[in-house]
Amino acid sequence: MTLGVADKQGDLFDDVGRFCAGALPERSIYSFLARERDRLFPDEAFADLFDENKGRRSVPPSVVATVMVLQRLEGLSDREAVERYCFDNRWRYAAGVGGYDANGWTSFSHTVLVDMRERLRRSGRPDRIFEAALGAARDAGLVGRKRALDSTPLYDAVATMDTITLMRSAIRGLLKAAEVVLEDELRRAMTSGDDYASAAKPQIDWDDKDAQADLVDSRAKDAYACLAYLDGSELGPTVEEAARLLATVVGQDLEEGSDGIFRIARKVATDRVISTVDPETRHGHKTQAKGFDGYKGHVAVDPDSEIITATTVTPGNAGDAGVAEELISDLLDDKDADTTGEKNGTTVDDPGDLQDGDEKTPATTVYGDNAYGSGPFQRRLEDEGIDSRCKTQKPNATNGLFGKELFTVDLEDDTVTCPAGVTVSIRRHTDGGGIAKFAETCASCALRAQCTKAKEGRSIAVGPNEAVLSRARARQKHSDWIADYRATRPKVERKIAHLMRRKHGGRRARVRGRVRVAADFKLLAAAVNLARLGTIGARSTHTGWSVAGP
């Protein structure tokens, strides 16, 4: 397929264009795309996705990109998006195809959207629509040196499977991936009598515990028989991947008793696979009481302009701080920009330290809730000279006993002093952390009942980043720090609300697999950014981009 090119001349006598130009608000997303579409994603920017002078011409990429953006904003399926493009004059105006008597593209198949996403995914620049929107925002001076970070659940597009369904589905996947001869050998190795032809569960009395146990044991033995047969063999990549998934499934949920019977283990495996259809999805928790199945979408936002500067997607059980550096990679890579506030040539650690008449250069600042206040991330921010507005959680106090904050940790002397005034030394570990044990003094301490219930007495763990966390906790007690945090960080929560306002393609993933979910989430962020650029009056000029006045 060769590159199709849109008609850039337009039709002065087109009724649809003239009507929409007069009826639509100037700062609507439709008017913005109609005006700036060719600057944001010209057809030539997608030339690498198509073969030169080979096959029929594609639908112009600028038209498809416009439809993809509007589709993500309005939470539509591919079929719904093409129907909207065909019959909604606003979409046609935004795509620059004119009315129905014009020579533009009247309609196209929904598979064009599927094909474009796949071409982008396989290319060297899969996120070019997001990059175009962010590049326009940067050129207009809308991206500064502040970032607010947060994450949100993305519900997966598959059903969570129980242990029996997981095992049978994994075995079915292995048989499907195997060639005919290998499939016959694997079937001969299994002894349960299950032909694994259907995805439905075997018909047994599910109220009969013995029948359930026999079913689990027989299918587990089928799985292990397949794995034993494949052990030591040279396998193709597809069969090897299917075998690894089967091994993971039976290894995470089953245990073999002394009688040789396989039973479902009474535990929850770490990083448990919950679906063979999408093996990367996981159980996640937004709070202790509220769980979900799927992924996490992580975003970084410039809080002043509310432009999304970065996104990424992780399995639902991943921690937020683990991808925080990826979200602020643009700040970390920009070594030449000012990264600290300065007062008369001296670093300002807190806005309250400024005196009247002092000038402060724009500081690089990162905002985040307790999930981002980990020791490693706080240390990285500190090492880079970035002002941290990431909350650091106080140490937990178990069952109402004395919390760690009541103990005085002296890192210079490497000692810890308890509320009773007893001081002990910290025994350091090889990783830089350590532990202080009060065992010898706890037995006769009058405060023991309020401090610990452990027989060996109280102990205080000191992490390798204890000093960094201590400084972070001290900073966040300052009134100016609190005021700045409360005024700034909620903006990222509002932006996430914009991303999640549509259930289909917002909170609920439309695709399967982390790579595809991440690409779809970034496209959604691009669409929201473009809508924001339209709202604030961004315009392209001969020299770049600018923002109009109110």
Q: Give the tens place of pLDDT for each residue, 393-418.
A: 888 777 888 988 889 998 889 999 99
Confidence of residue 361 (pLDDT cuts 50, 70, 90): very low
Does one domain contain both 425 and 523? Answer: no
Tally the domains of the chain: 4
Type of residue found at 512: R
pLDDT surpassing 90 at residue 384: yes
Does one domain contain both 353 and 482? Answer: yes
Whether 116 is in a domain gets the answer yes
Residues near 382 by beta carbon (within 8 Å), at least 6 away in sequence: 388, 468, 471
Q: How far apart are CA 286 and CA 317, in angstroms?
A: 9
In contact, 320 and 377? CB cutoff 8 Å: no
Taking each helix axis as running N to C, give the angle between helix 514-535 and helix 128-139, from 0 to 180 degrees, rounded to the nearest 10.
30
Does one domain contain both 351 and 296? Answer: yes
Whether 278 is in a domain gets the answer no
Does one domain contain both 385 and 494? Answer: yes
Residue pLDDT, tens place only, 125-145:
999 999 999 999 999 999 999
pLDDT above 90 as % of the chain: 69
Q: What is the reported pLDDT for 201?
A: 87
Mapped onto helix, strand or coil, the DSSP state of residue 145 is coil
Q: Which token pair is 247?
A: 């091994």
pLDDT surpassing 90 at residue 265: no
Q: What is the reported pLDDT for 347?
A: 41
Provide the 10 A C-beta neighbour count for residue 80.
14
Does one domain contain both 55 and 119? Answer: yes
Q: What is the reported pLDDT for 336?
A: 54
| Nearest by Cα to 163 from 241, 251, 291 | 251
Q: Return the minimum-mean-pLDDT range out of 76-85, 356-365, 412-421.
A: 356-365
The CA distances from residue 350 to 335, 359, 377, 378, 477, in Å, are 22, 13, 19, 16, 11
What are phi and psi for residue 497, nearest 5 degrees? -60, -35
pLDDT surpassing 50 at residue 359: no
Whether 471 is in a domain gets the answer no
Confidence of residue 104 (pLDDT cuts 50, 70, 90): low
Does one domain contain both 137 and 85? Answer: no
Does one domain contain both 22 and 79? Answer: yes
Provide the 10 A C-beta neighbour count for residue 193.
8
Residue pLDDT, tens place only, 30-50:
999 999 999 999 999 999 999
Whether 36 is in a domain gets the answer yes
Q: Which token pair is 415?
A: 């000692």
Which residue do the tokens 């763990």 mark? 461
In contact, 37 and 62? CB cutoff 8 Å: yes
Confidence of residue 362 (pLDDT cuts 50, 70, 90): low
Does one domain contain both 299 and 383? Answer: yes
Domain boundary among 99, 123, 147: 123
Of 13 and 6, more confident: 6
Q: Give the ranges where 75-179 is alpha helix by DSSP (H).
A: 78-87, 89-95, 111-122, 128-139, 163-177
Residue pLDDT, tens place only, 218-247:
999 999 999 999 998 899 999 999 999 999
Residue 436 lies in domain: 398-464
Q: What is the reported pLDDT for 11?
A: 63
Q: Which residues pair with 408 in a beta bridge?
A: 417
pLDDT surpassing 50 at residue 342: no
DSSP annotation of 368: E
Whether 213 is in a domain gets the answer yes
Confidence of residue 66 (pLDDT cuts 50, 70, 90): very high
Residue pLDDT, tens place only, 512-529:
999 999 999 999 999 999
pLDDT surpassing 90 at residue 431: no
Q: Which token pair is 485?
A: 């945090």
Does one domain contain both 233 and 152? Answer: no
Whether 76 is in a domain gets the answer yes
Across the range 484-490, mean pLDDT stands at 95
Instruction: Determine the number of helices (DSSP H) and then strands (DSSP E) in the chain.
Output: 20, 18
Across the range 453-462, mean pLDDT stands at 90
The CATH number linked to 342 is 3.30.420.10
Confidence of residue 545 (pLDDT cuts 50, 70, 90): very high
Does one domain contain both 18 and 111? Answer: yes
Q: What is the reported pLDDT for 252?
A: 92
Q: Which token pair is 174?
A: 């292995």
Does one domain contain both 167 and 232? Answer: yes
Does one domain contain both 496 and 481? Answer: yes
| Nearest by Cα to 227 from 201, 203, 252, 245 | 245
pLDDT surpassing 60 at residue 4: yes
Q: How far apart are CA 244 and CA 260, in angstroms?
A: 23
The CA distances from residue 170 to 240, 247, 269, 281, 294, in Å, are 12, 9, 17, 15, 19
- The count of residues in the chain is 550
Q: Is 472 exposed, middle or buried (0-12, 13-18, 19+ CB in 10 A)?
A: buried
pTM of the prediction? 0.88
Whether 269 is in a domain gets the answer no
Q: What is the reported pLDDT for 356?
A: 45
Mean pLDDT over the full length of the chain: 89
Whether 280 is in a domain gets the answer no
Q: What is the reported pLDDT for 102?
A: 56
